[in-house]
Amino acid sequence: MDTDSKLALLSSIDVMNDYERDRLIQDLIDKMNLQSFTEGWNNHISLYSPIIDKWINPSTNQKAPPTSDNLNQWTLDLTHSLFTLRRPHEGYTIEVTFPQNNLQHMLDSAKVENNDPFFYHPDYPIVTSSSPSPNKIEELIHKLSIPRLYDHKEGSVEISIAEDKYMVNFFKSSTLGWYLIDYVPLDQALQPIMKTQRIFYVVCLMLVLASVTHALFLYRKVQIPILTLLKGVRHLKKGSFSHRIEKSSLNEFDILYQNFNDMAEQIEELIEKVYKEKIISREAQVKQLQAQINPHFLYNCLFFINNMNRLGNEDAITAMTENLAEYFRYTTRLNDPLTTLQKELAVVQNYLNIQCLRMTRLRYEINIPDSMNQLLVPKLLIQPLVENSLIHGIEKKQAAGIVRIECIESQNQYRLLLDDDGIGMTNDEIQELLYQIMQPLTDTIGCALWNIQQRMDIFFMKPAGINIDKSPLGGLRIELYWPKENLLEE
């Protein structure tokens, strides 16, 4: 109403005639009634004109003129339970009043469950709702720090009443100058936070369960099939080409399983085919190498018989022919290229007996443990070595005549040592000979040692081969060695 044009006319009401004055007063009364009605609150508006020294209001109640000590502030009339505000203007004063129960209705509407709001002013009685808890309010006012209210326009504080904790919120109304105070049990105030916290924990738990479920799903559908494939690959790497994947994952991995099984089957078939071809090739190569030994030995025997015939040594000729017949009976059985070490050394002993007839200074010694008697070795593996030892070592040294054969079993391999006291070889010559027997066969390489090295490679698992060194007897030592896994083919 402060901006209404009718109020400005009050400053000149004294110069108006009676009709204009009554008309203005009636218009102002209508305005005040309309303003009170539109506010939605039960209130009463009055105007005081000092010019005519009269209150203008819808009611006919006459009141004393306003004094200077109660202007611009709300006052509480305890007699009539009315709040009053008088605001002076130039030429008039506006007075607004409303009953105390307006505030009570507002407090009732603000009351929810266990809270109990009220209005507080240190100079007036407390204004409460229609259903207050006076004991709690008195205890609350007693414990509430009043200076805290004066220092702050609003705030919150925690107060204990009868072992119960309350959250107290206060707010100062700039219009009334009163404090609106509300208190609520602390557990109820924290209930939304606790509820939010519980919801947060439930959501976190659901996320963890969803993550674990998803991880288990991926593990079953992806990780396990991959591990199954890796296991199959490891079987192939170890040489187990008959391994097949029997699992079914009911997804795209079944295609991979089928392709893996097809691949393993093809590899197995190819390896079996190559292995069979290798066996056939090896048998042909063994027969070829064995055929190279037979003529070599036969030539030496025939030359020996011829020499003994010239010398008239019939006993030596008889022994040679008998042993030669036994030898060919032994070597012509090509269907079985293997023999026991005991039988092989028996042929060597037979050969040395023949050589003893030719060289009376020749002596030999053969030592073999019982555990090695039945070991399978290629036929004619040792005899060519003994023959070379006699021809290239002992025969070229007048004082020589000792041949010693010793078989040794160690933890991981077998060894056969052939020692003589012949002329021997220098270290450089030994290294050159070892190098040559590892090369392809040429006209410059002796057939016997190269032949034996090739047969060792064919029949035995690695490491297997020939080693040459100086003998403790003064001549040369030839060592044959092969692992305890023994033969590649039995």
Q: Work out the pLDDT band at 20, boundaries 50, 70, 90.
A: confident
User: Which residues face 76 on adjacent strands?
Assistant: 83
What pLDDT, on the 0 to 100 scale, is given for residue 481? 94
- % of the chain at pLDDT higher than 70: 81
Pick the residue with more confidence: 168 or 406? 406
Q: Where are the beta strands (DSSP E) in 301-424?
A: 338-340, 363-367, 376-378, 402-409, 413-420
Spans of all domains in the chain: 5-99, 101-190, 272-483
DSSP state of 487: B
Contact by Cβ (8 Å): 397, 373:
no
Contact by Cβ (8 Å): 334, 317:
no
For range 303-314, the mean pLDDT: 83
Pick the residue with more confidence: 135 or 302? 302
What pLDDT, on the 0 to 100 scale, is given for residue 456? 84
What pLDDT, on the 0 to 100 scale, is given for residue 45? 80
The yes-or-no verdict on residue 464 having pLDDT over 60 is yes
Pick the residue with more confidence: 287 or 365? 365
For range 377-395, the mean pLDDT: 88
Q: Work out the pLDDT band at 466, boundaries 50, 70, 90.
A: very high
Amino acid identity at 362: L
* Residue keyed to tokens 């044959």: 480
The yes-or-no verdict on residue 369 having pLDDT over 90 is yes
The yes-or-no verdict on residue 280 having pLDDT over 60 is no
Amino acid identity at 366: I
Pick the residue with more confidence: 297 or 429? 429
What pLDDT, on the 0 to 100 scale, is given for residue 10? 75
Pick the residue with more confidence: 308 or 427? 427
- % of the chain at pLDDT higher than 90: 17
What pLDDT, on the 0 to 100 scale, is given for residue 489? 47
The yes-or-no verdict on residue 293 having pLDDT over 60 is no
Contact by Cβ (8 Å): 49, 94:
no
pLDDT digits (tens, 9 = 90+) for 85-115: 777 776 777 777 778 777 777 777 777 766 7
Phi, psi of 33 (to 5 degrees): -65, -45
Contact by Cβ (8 Å): 166, 160:
yes
User: Is omega for the bond preceding 463 within 30 degrees of 0, making it cis?
Assistant: yes
How far is residue 445's CA from residue 447's CA, in Å, rounded to a whole number?
Answer: 6
Assess whether the region 101-190 and the region 272-483 belong to the same CATH fold. no
Highest averaged pLDDT of the listed ranges 114-128, 294-308, 387-401: 387-401
Sheet holding 402-409, edge to edge: 363-367, 402-409, 413-420, 476-483, 465-470
How far is residue 201's CA from residue 192's CA, in Å, rounded to a whole number?
Answer: 14
What pLDDT, on the 0 to 100 scale, is given for residue 284? 53
**pTM check: above 0.85:** no
- How far does CA 276 lie from the centroid of its chain? 45
The yes-or-no verdict on residue 459 having pLDDT over 80 is yes
Pick the residue with more confidence: 320 or 423? 423
- Here the tokens at position 441 are 């066969």
What pLDDT, on the 0 to 100 scale, is given for residue 57? 76
Contact by Cβ (8 Å): 331, 367:
no
Question: For the domain 101-190, what is the CATH code?
Answer: 3.30.450
Q: For the purposes of burial, counting CB atoms within 10 Å of the CB of 414, is it exposed (0-12), middle (13-18) or buried (19 or more)?
A: buried
How far is residue 183's CA from residue 442's CA, in Å, rounded to a whole number?
Answer: 114
Contact by Cβ (8 Å): 381, 344:
yes
pLDDT digits (tens, 9 = 90+) for 208-238: 999 999 999 888 888 888 888 888 888 888 8
The yes-or-no verdict on residue 471 having pLDDT over 80 is yes
Taking each helix axis as running N to C, give the angle between helix 447-459 and helix 253-311, from 0 to 180 degrees, rounded to the nearest 10: 150
What pLDDT, on the 0 to 100 scale, is given for residue 147? 53
What pLDDT, on the 0 to 100 scale, is given for residue 160? 77
For range 276-301, the mean pLDDT: 60
Sheet holding 118-121, edge to edge: 124-128, 118-121, 179-185, 164-172, 154-161
Least confident of 97-106, 269-278, 288-297, 300-309: 288-297
∠169-173-179 over CA atoms, to 5°?
A: 45
What pLDDT, on the 0 to 100 scale, is given for residue 67? 64
∠262-267-269 over CA atoms, to 5°?
A: 95
How far is residue 445's CA from residue 363's CA, in Å, rounded to a whole number?
Answer: 29
Highest averaged pLDDT of the listed ranges 314-318, 384-388, 466-470: 466-470
- The CATH architecture annotation of domain 272-483 reads 2-Layer Sandwich (3.30)
* Residue keyed to tokens 């306003």: 66
* Residue keyed to tokens 């208190």: 183
